Amino acid sequence: MTAPVPLDHLLFALIALASPLVDWLWLYPRFLRAAKAGVPGARRRLYLTGILWSWGLMAFVLALWASRGRPWGGIELGASTPLRLGIRRALAAVYLVLMWSARRKLLARPDRLERFRRKLGDGDPLIPRTSGERRGFTLVAITAGVCEEVLYRGFVMWYAGVWAGPVLAVAISSLLFGFAHLYLGTSHVYRTAVVGVIFALIALAAGSLWPVILIHAAMDLTAGDLGYRALGGAPADDSGTGLPALS
> Does some domain include residue 215?
yes
Asked if residue 241 belongs to a domain, the reply is no
Per-residue pLDDT, 234: 52
Backbone angles phi, psi at 130, to 5 degrees: -120, 165
Q: Kindly report, residue by residue over 145-202, the tens digit of the pLDDT.
A: 999 999 999 999 999 999 999 999 999 999 999 999 999 999 899 999 999 999 999 9
The larger pLDDT score, comparing residue 84 to residue 231, is at: 231
What pLDDT score was predicted for residue 243?
A: 42
DSSP state letter for 209: S
Cβ density class 114-153: b for 16+ within 10 Å, e for less: eebbeebeeeebbbbbbbbbbbbbbbbbbbbbbbbbbbbb
Identify the burial level of 226 via C-beta atoms within 10 angstroms of its C-beta, where 0-12 means exposed, 13-18 middle and 19 or more buried: buried
**pLDDT, tens digit, 9 for 90 and up, residues 49-61:** 999 999 999 999 9
Q: Global pTM?
A: 0.89
Q: Does 237 reside within a domain?
A: no
Q: Is residue 165 situated within a structural domain?
A: yes
Enter the DSSP assignment of 234.
B
* Residue 205, pLDDT score: 87
Examine residue 18 and state whether it is found in any structural domain, yes or no.
yes
Least confident stretch, 41-45, 79-83, 137-141: 79-83
| Average pLDDT score, the chain | 89
pLDDT at 6: 96
Tell me if 170 sits within 8 A of 200, measured CB to CB.
yes
How many domains is the chain partitioned into structurally? 1
Collect all residues with Cβ–Cβ distance below 8 Å to 241 and sequence separation of at least 6: 132, 135, 136
Q: What is the Cα–Cα distance from 147 to 166, expressed in whole angstroms?
A: 21
Higher pLDDT, 60 or 234: 60
> Where residue 246 falls among pLDDT bands split at 50, 70, 90?
very low
Q: Specify if 112 maps to a domain.
A: yes
Whether 202 is covered by a domain: the verdict is yes
* Domain presence at residue 86: yes
Is the four-CA dihedral 232, 138, 11, 70 of positive or negative sign?
Answer: positive
Sign, CA torsion 98/117/39/24: negative
Domain containing 93: what range?
6-230
How high is the pLDDT of residue 233? 63
